[in-house]
Amino acid sequence: MSTETTAQYVKAGRHADAPAQKDLDRCVHCGLCLNACPTYRELGVEMDSPRGRIYQMVQVATGQTPINPTYTEHMDLCLGCRACETACPSGVEYGKLIEAARTELNAVRPKSFFRSAIEGFVFNHLLSSRWMLSLVGLKLWIYQSTGLQSLVRATGILKLMGLAEIEKLTPTAERPNFFGQIGKVFPAEGTRKKKVALLAGCMQNVFFAKLNEATVRVLQKNGCEVHIPAEQTCCGALHAHSGFRDQARALAKQNVEALVDGGFDAIISNTGGCGATLKEYHHLLEHDARAEKFVSLMRDVNEFLASIELNPNMKPINAVVTYQDSCHLAHGQKVTKAPRQLISKIPGITFVEMPNASICCGSAGIYNVVQNELAMEILESKMGNVNVTKADRVISSNPGCMLQLRAGEKLHGQNRPVQHVIELLDEAYRG
Ligand code: SF4
Ligand code: SF4
């Protein structure tokens, strides 16, 4: 429960990026989205449903209610998973609305010095700085690989500080990181069929370097010359989701300029969350023809590989697997068939669909850190669905989901490996 008071909020007129009335008006309050919403399913509270949240946005937009602690709490509890968008028959673009609402909220909400400092550091510096991310990765790698992590855990100090649950979600820093590959060009295997650019992400270069390497190899196997353009930067998804829209715009501009004139057949992302923002750069950079061209070239890696003739030279993998949709891939990008098609093309694989695969696992960017309790409840439900499949591997298409599912495997599962679709394909190609 929030300890803020309404008086602490900065009084301001409507923010330039506040939810637009025409977007709010599309909701007819039918409630058909309620059952798709993970927070409504867990909490059973109308104000924590998509319809309830849109109602509150309307109240703020029309001046009937000020932005206050109650409004803040319900907006903060939204995962931004956009499952409501898929369920909505009226075409409400909920993702756009919640990002706009958070941008407006961010400009007026009271913040402690500590919170402002952390947000300023992360959103203005860390995510777009290769050397800072490299340094964080190196320190974390030392902490994790020298036994220091086990020692700290054993002392119980994390529990005393209330950080034990969050620390369990810390990703493993990989060495070497992927920053060393940025700027390089990887030739196609055999005849070059496509020239593509890979967006390597920000933290992904440190925590999912091996996934990026696997992505390059799988694309090469499929006749692609893979460029990792040097001037690329963080996609800005975390900024946009957290209400830092101006910073997201600056990053979007840099990526557009870095890639749009490269003569690429496609610009590829292997991360559902980043891909959704990258495909919506025309929302961030309105009336910008170069941003529109960039968007027309953007492809999720699953979508791209499913659209070409896949190299069939794979060795069998004898495993039963299930697939957890990445919310931003399924609901943001509407890509659900491609990953399943790719998995089913690997010889030896038995695919078992899990119940409610398209419902969020509770990861949602940094949601599992800032709303840890509810994220863990959502994860528990998810692992119940994974367990009924009796799969021996869990597959997804977004690093954030993979981290959350790995935590779920430790807490409620059977310690099964959690892999990206591309890692499974890479394994099949490498035998
Ligand atoms: S968001 Fe869509 S499904 Fe949900 S209440 Fe509004 S119109 Fe109905
Ligand atoms: S984005 Fe997800 S959590 Fe938020 S209202 Fe929609 S379905 Fe619910």
The confidence score (pLDDT) of residue 425 equals: 98
* CATH number of the domain within which 57 lies: 1.10.1060.10
3 pLDDT band, cuts 50/70/90, is low
* CATH number of the domain within which 299 lies: 3.40.50
**Same domain for 345 and 235:** no
- Residue 4 belongs to some domain of the structure: no
Q: Indicate whether this model's pTM tops 0.85.
A: yes
The confidence score (pLDDT) of residue 102 equals: 95
How is residue 150 written in tokens?
């086990």
Average pLDDT over residues 197-212: 96
- Position in ligand 1 atom list of the atom nearest CA 28: 7
CB of 367 shorter than 6 A to ligand 2: no
- Residue 81 belongs to some domain of the structure: yes
Query: Are the beta carbons of 117 and 223 closer than 8 angstroms?
Result: no
The confidence score (pLDDT) of residue 178 equals: 97
- The total number of structural domains in the chain stands at 4
Q: How many whole angstroms from 64 Cα to the centroid of ligand 1? A: 21
Decide if pLDDT at 170 tops 80.
Answer: yes
Decide if pLDDT at 426 tops 70.
Answer: yes
Decide if pLDDT at 162 tops 80.
Answer: no
The confidence score (pLDDT) of residue 300 equals: 98
pLDDT digits (tens, 9 = 90+) for 110-149: 999 999 999 999 999 999 999 999 999 999 999 999 988 8
CB of 378 shorter than 6 A to ligand 2: no
Average pLDDT over residues 162-190: 90
Question: Is 415 or 194 the better-scoring residue by pLDDT?
Answer: 194
**Same domain for 297 and 339:** no
Closest CA to 100 of 50, 57, 140: 57
The confidence score (pLDDT) of residue 290 equals: 97
The confidence score (pLDDT) of residue 103 equals: 95
Query: Are the beta carbons of 314 and 283 closer than 8 angstroms?
Result: no
Which residues on neighbouring strands pair with residue 298, listed in sequence order?
267
- Residue 8 belongs to some domain of the structure: no
* Alpha-carbon distances, residue 131 vs 2, 180, 207, 274, 364 (angstroms): 36, 11, 14, 21, 26
Ligand nearest to the CA of 88: 1
pLDDT digits (tens, 9 = 90+) for 11-51: 777 888 999 999 999 999 999 999 999 999 989 999 999 99
CB of 209 shorter than 6 A to ligand 2: no
Ligand nearest to the CA of 31: 1
pLDDT digits (tens, 9 = 90+) for 80-103: 999 999 999 999 999 999 999 999
Query: Which residue from 48, 84, 93 has its CB within 8 A of the most atoms of ligand 1, so it is best to mutate?
Result: 84
CB of 401 shorter than 6 A to ligand 2: no
- Position in ligand 2 atom list of the atom nearest CA 83: 7
Helix 50-61 / helix 94-108 crossing angle, nearest 10 deg: 50
- Residue 1 belongs to some domain of the structure: no
The confidence score (pLDDT) of residue 363 equals: 84
**Range ranked top by mean pLDDT from 159-168, 220-229, 377-386:** 220-229
Average pLDDT over residues 202-217: 97
Q: How many whole angstroms from 239 Cα to the centroid of ligand 1? A: 26
- Position in ligand 1 atom list of the atom nearest CA 30: 8
Q: How many whole angstroms from 392 Cα to the centroid of ligand 1? A: 37
- Position in ligand 2 atom list of the atom nearest CA 95: 1
Ligand nearest to the CA of 32: 1
- Position in ligand 1 atom list of the atom nearest CA 34: 4
The confidence score (pLDDT) of residue 179 equals: 96
Of all residues in the chain, the percent with pLDDT exceeding 90 is: 83
**Same domain for 400 and 336:** yes
Q: How many whole angstroms from 319 Cα to the centroid of ligand 2? A: 33
Which residues on neighbouring strands pair with residue 267, listed in sequence order?
197, 298
- Residue 369 belongs to some domain of the structure: yes
Cβ-in-10-Å burial (0-12, 13-18, 19+) of 1 comes to exposed
- Residue 313 belongs to some domain of the structure: no
Q: Which of 153-167, 346-360, 372-386 has the lowest mean pLDDT?
A: 153-167
**Same domain for 194 and 296:** yes
Q: Could you list the residue range(s) of the whole structural domain that residue 142 is in?
A: 114-167
CB of 240 shorter than 6 A to ligand 2: no
**Same domain for 302 and 328:** no
Query: Are the beta carbons of 99 and 328 closer than 8 angstroms?
Result: no
Decide if pLDDT at 247 tops 90.
Answer: yes
Ligand nearest to the CA of 80: 2
Pocket of ligand 1 (CB under 6 A): 27-33, 50-51, 54, 84, 87-88, 90, 92
Of all residues in the chain, the percent with pLDDT exceeding 70 is: 99
- Residue 9 belongs to some domain of the structure: no
- Position in ligand 2 atom list of the atom nearest CA 77: 3
**Same domain for 124 and 158:** yes
The CA distance from 279 to 332, in Å, is: 9
The CA distance from 190 to 324, in Å, is: 33
**Same domain for 96 and 200:** no
Q: How many whole angstroms from 255 Cα to the centroid of ligand 1? A: 34
**Same domain for 83 and 32:** yes
Ligand nearest to the CA of 53: 2
**Same domain for 271 and 184:** yes
DSSP 47: G
Domain final position from 285, 307, 329: 307
pLDDT digits (tens, 9 = 90+) for 264-320: 999 999 999 999 999 999 999 999 999 999 999 999 999 999 999 999 999 999 999
Mean pLDDT of the chain: 93
The CA distance from 375 to 42, in Å, is: 10
**Same domain for 353 and 259:** no
**Same domain for 99 and 143:** no
Q: How many whole angstroms from 30 Cα to the centroid of ligand 1? A: 5
- Residue 3 belongs to some domain of the structure: no
Cβ-in-10-Å burial (0-12, 13-18, 19+) of 397 comes to buried
**Same domain for 97 and 126:** no
